[in-house]
Amino acid sequence: MTIRRRTFFVATVAALASTQALAPRPTRAQQRFESIFMFIPAGPGGGWDSTGRAIEQAARAAGLVGSFQFENVGGAGGMVGLPRFVNQRRGQANALIVGGSVMVGAGITNKSPITIRDVVPIARLTEEAGVVVVPPNSPHRDWASLAAALRANPGSVSVGGGSAGGTDHIALGLILKALGRNPREASYVAFAGGGPAQAAILGGQVGAGISGYSEFAEQIKAGRMRALATTGAERIPGTDIPTLKELGLNVTAANWRGVFAAPGITPAQRQALIDLVTAVHATPQWKEILAQRAWTDAFLAGDAFAAFLSEDIAKTETVLKDLGLA
């Protein structure tokens, strides 16, 4: 009985949805792939999942791909899904996996036998710079003041962010190192997820906070957090927050996301996927999604991406060693 009931619900919801679906049928003129298998090494609803779904949205609207099939296997920063993708999809020419900085770090901290090196880099798509904030009642009005406090005694300023060894922690480690201190001296307070971390900063429970810009953007706009510096190579468009580089600290860190192919594919098959993702990136729909989601375009494909990746892995490994986590 319950089964029938459930299918009925799903049918109702689907029917409701389809009444709204009046989008024009895509033309099949420039279809490059009959189907793409998209593997998301995270649960539905997160950043990797929305990246994968955004690719689907843009590719299908432009008629580049006939159909998409998704599989979500979440856990441990992608380290649960990655081995499954590598083992099950070896040599499959139409399989893609979404990944990024988090996966680089997770592979190192978990000492996983299968890491991001075991998949074939296709393209980096987006990136997000980090931002250092303080509560509005903080004595630190600008970066110089906070930097001086951190340089004098890193332990005196508690800094809230995501889980230990994650991108936020790594960014703080890079900052302390550039300030001439040992990253291990940090008073880093790890919170489970963005909600608790934001609450702790808003409530002035911690001295400062560090996270991806989008996480804090609305609080900054509303004046409930004071942004002191961003960690990207350039300023975040539409903001006047200086970068650490401008402030004289040689630190850049950004949380990037991209797609990879299964191991064992031929160079021609790899090129076909690179061409596909390049074409997706060129569609107006992709630009629209970037604007809507406030993602920063960081497109980098093929060999250039592969080179960036090795550099990123080496850099992350060094910081995590400094933090005592690798």
CA 52 from centre of chain: 12
**217 near another protein, judged by CB under 8 A:** yes
* Residues 201-224 as b or e (16 or more Cβ within 10 Å = b): bbeebbbbbbbbbbbbbebbeeee
Among positions 49-88, residues that touch another protein (CB under 8 A) are 50, 53, 57, 71-76, 79-80, 83
Q: How far apart are CA 100 and CA 48, in angstroms?
A: 8
Nearer to another protein, 130 or 300 (CB): 130
- Assign 72 to helix, strand or coil: strand
User: Contacts with another protein in 16-45 (CB under 8 A)?
Assistant: 16-18, 20-21, 43-45
Identified binder of another protein from the candidate list 26, 32, 46, 302, rule CB under 8 A: 46
Amino acid (1-letter code) at residue 317: E
Residue span 272-291 as binding mask against another protein, x where in contact by CB under 8 A, dash where not: -------------------x
Between CA 20 and CA 26, with CA 23 as vertex, the angle to 5 degrees is 150
State the number of binding residues for another protein (CB under 8 A).
67
DSSP letters spanning 243-262: BTTTTT-----EEEEEEEE-
Stretch that binds another protein, among 85-93, 120-128, 199-207, 274-282 (CB under 8 A): 199-207
Interatomic CA distance for residues 231 and 250, integer angstroms: 10
Smallest distance from the beta carbon of 144 to another protein, in angstroms? 23
Measured CA to CA in angstroms, residue 106 lies from 40, 109, 164, 228 at distances of 15, 5, 10, 28
For another protein, the binding residues (CB under 8 A) are 2, 5-6, 9, 12-13, 16-18, 20-21, 43-46, 50, 53, 57, 71-76, 79-80, 83, 109-110, 112, 155-156, 158, 163-166, 169, 187-196, 198-200, 202-203, 205-206, 214, 217-219, 221-222, 224, 291-294, 325
